[in-house]
Amino acid sequence: MVRIIRKLSVALASAALLLGFAPSPAGAGQQGPVRTAAPPVHGTSEAGNPLVEGWYADPDVAVYGDRFWIYPTTSRSYGEQTFMDAFSSTDMVHWTKHPKVLDIADVPWAKYALWAPAPVYRDGQYYLYFAANDIQSDSEVGGIGVAVSDRPEGPYKDAIGAPLIDRFHNGAQPIDQDVFIDDDGQAYMYYGGWGHANVVELNPDMTSLGTFPDGTVHKEITPENYTEGSFMFKRGGTYYMMWSEGGWTGPDYSVSYAMSDSPTGPFEKIDRVLAQDPAVARGSGHNSVVNVPGTDVWYIVYHRRPLSETDGNHRALAYDRMYFNEDGTIRPVTMKVQDNFEDGNAVGWRTYGGGDWTAAHGTYSVAPAAPATSVTSAASATSVTSASGGLALQDTDFSDLLYEADVTLRDGRGEAGLAFRATPPEAGEEGFHGYYAALTAKGLVLGKAAGGERTPLATARLTGASGGTHRVRIEAIGSSLKVYVDDLANPRISTTDSTYTSGSNGVHATRPSPKPGSAAARKPLASFDDVAIRSDVFSFEAADAPNRFIRHAWSRGRVDPDVTPYADMQWKVVPGLADPSAVSLESVNFPGHFLRQRDGEVWSEARTDDAGFLGDATWRRVPGLSDRSLTSFESFSSPGRYLRHRDALLYAEHVAPGERPGATFREW
């Protein structure tokens, strides 16, 4: 996937420039040398979140020449927060660690709690602003400092021998600073904790504070629900202030934003843009934003806490794509779960059982490992001894989901596939509780596992299941379980079971043990690639009308850019009301209301048990009429008619060849 994106990125960047998108980096002025490499264009961190191994928080991003730089807090206890690492990348996939770019030994007045580095470049120098000592009153030594280096990887040295801001002003604790240089060259610092935010001007030397025209130095700009973590960026002449709300150790930690036509506000809260997803991660916050130079591609970089972690300092770095509406407002960010292993690691995966797992060459592979373990075959309900059993899980907790990956069964005597709604087993064990869909030499099996015992629920023959790579997709909606292979339009297996309702997602492979006295082969059992997991809630963007989505207004189905409230353009994909092998689209904003066609027009209406309504509210989800990588919806009650937009309204109509783009949608 990333290989294809890289080929397209140059064309996308050129198109962006033709459309008038000039380089506009977050925290402008930090570019340094001009970037010449092809810009990365990703839908999320496609090589997997967390980005890097280790506990880090409060990331800020700079673009220096051809490299993206992330400077985070080292997420440890206060006493251990005595240095800062950095990470750099040319493609936002492969990250190089630069250890201890700033060390407390180079800041004479600091003792601990080095927090929230803020990088910026100016006049041949690289500056790194930081908070230290977590002062609780003006009588303590500490606050916001500034370090300088002639290289982005440091080492950074304290620039002035004392804090730049060492007092509480307007009630704001001097922490969590961000530095932004406007187009006119004026530099600003935004900072503050304890529920108060200030902005100050930085003089051209970047190591002293200026004065506003009214004679003040520290101007309060606190927006509604502000806690900490200020961040400023500019896009299209509009200033965006972002901040974190809630408690940093709690699940309510989140990011909100405001817009203004001035870098000093006023800043009135518009909406929350990033929050926890109980299926993906908690405590998502303290963010920065980076714009890929020369494009209108933006990413939000932030920290979050894996679901199973309870230690407050166990925070990890992540990024996701950030999109804007036509009026400049920001769409709520979805924390996506993907991994194509292009970065050569499996950060975020946990392995169990007797398999050796390796992430290399863009795949995740498992080979046998001794000693032998005992599991039950997925192809039958009888127990057998296995020479190897490998299970790798992500720290997720999905109930209704769509989960797909490329699966290559390399050993015809074994099986390999996807696990979902799984309860992680004890360390060292491969047996789990949950569902699995596996390729075998004979075809495909869907079953459920209860520790070491596995029970098939359904099977299907599949030519060439062993040796080749197959795209396997799971749709689990309530008790409805569907498995697709290669042809994602028609399920190979469709059944129901309600034993497990939610749990982790992963990949697994097993192989029966050799006969007594013979040695187990060491060749790989299976490999996996392009893993993608998401919930069953979608937004559908018209393929021929970017930034226009299927929504409802006064019950009438529409396609337009008005996404307020955002939930009006969100649809829960559920088993078809008239045929569970098809789908129905339930409004997120109005549960129990479904998108249905009535005399060729499309409406969002409350469900009834009338057979006519059930049929009219059911759609066959098929490959896109104008682009098979996208989606179209054929009416169940009126075959040959497709959901399409015309003059901003939705209809169910026959579609001529030239009209196919209007009946094709991109899923978000």
Using CA atoms, how far residue 515 sits from 221, 356, 373, 525, 634, in Å, is: 74, 21, 14, 18, 53
pLDDT of residue 21: 34
pLDDT of residue 514: 60
pLDDT of residue 431: 87
The token duo for 233 is 């960026």
pLDDT of residue 251: 87
Residue whose structure tokens are 């040398």: 33
pLDDT of residue 513: 64
pLDDT digits (tens, 9 = 90+) for 508-537: 998 876 655 555 556 789 999 999 999 999
Residues sharing a CB contact under 8 Å with residue 505, sequence separation 6 or more, in sequence order: 337, 393, 394, 396, 398, 401, 403, 418, 419, 420, 422, 533
pLDDT of residue 36: 59
pLDDT of residue 577: 96
pLDDT of residue 488: 74
> Sorting pLDDT into bands at 50, 70 and 90, what band is 39?
confident
pLDDT of residue 165: 98
Mean pLDDT taken over the chain: 90
The token duo for 223 is 């927006």
pLDDT digits (tens, 9 = 90+) for 366-393: 998 755 444 444 444 333 334 457 899 9
pLDDT of residue 388: 55
Decide if pLDDT at 17 tops 60: no
Q: Of 99-108, 326-335, 520-529, where does mean pLDDT reach its minimum?
A: 520-529
Cα 636 from Cα 620, distance rounded (Å)? 6
Decide if pLDDT at 244 tops 90: yes
Q: Peptide bond preceding 565: is omega within 30 degrees of 0, i.e. cis?
A: yes
Q: Which residues are identified as catalytic?
A: 58, 228
Cα 62 from Cα 81, distance rounded (Å)? 22
Decide if pLDDT at 29 tops 60: no
Cα 239 from Cα 258, distance rounded (Å)? 8
Long-range Cβ pairs for the range 518-523 (8 Å, 24+):
520/368, 520/370, 520/372, 520/387, 520/388, 521/368, 521/411, 522/367, 522/368, 523/367, 523/410, 523/411
Between 581 and 211, residue with greater pLDDT:
211
pLDDT of residue 18: 31
pLDDT of residue 374: 43
pLDDT of residue 426: 83
pTM score, whole prediction:
0.89
Q: Peptide bond preceding 491: is omega within 30 degrees of 0, i.e. cis?
A: no
pLDDT of residue 12: 36
Between 85 and 326, residue with greater pLDDT:
85
Between 264 and 25, residue with greater pLDDT:
264
Cα 96 from Cα 51, distance rounded (Å)? 11
Contact indicator for 508, 438 with CB cutoff of 8 Å: yes
> Sorting pLDDT into bands at 50, 70 and 90, what band is 40?
confident
Q: Kindly write down the DSSP assignment for every residue of 121-166, as one continuous string.
A: EETTEEEEEEEES--SSTTSS-EEEEEEESSTT---EESSSS-SB-
Identify the CA nearest to 284 among candidates 266, 299, 304, 265. 304
Task: Specify the amino acid at residue 110.
Answer: A
pLDDT digits (tens, 9 = 90+) for 145-162: 999 999 999 999 999 999
What is the spatial order of strands in the sheet that 228-235 belongs to?
A: 228-235, 238-245, 254-260, 268-274
Q: Of 16-20, 24-28, 497-501, where does mean pLDDT reach its minimum?
A: 16-20
Decide if pLDDT at 14 tops 50: no
| Share above pLDDT 90 across residues of the chain, in percent, rounded to a whole number | 81
> Sorting pLDDT into bands at 50, 70 and 90, what band is 5?
very low
Contact indicator for 446, 481 with CB cutoff of 8 Å: yes
Residue 115: burial class (beta carbons within 10 Å; 0-12, 13-18, 19+): buried
Decide if pLDDT at 169 tops 90: yes
Q: Of 275-284, 362-371, 448-457, 471-480, where does mean pLDDT reach its minimum?
A: 362-371
Decide if pLDDT at 136 tops 90: yes
Decide if pLDDT at 425 tops 80: yes
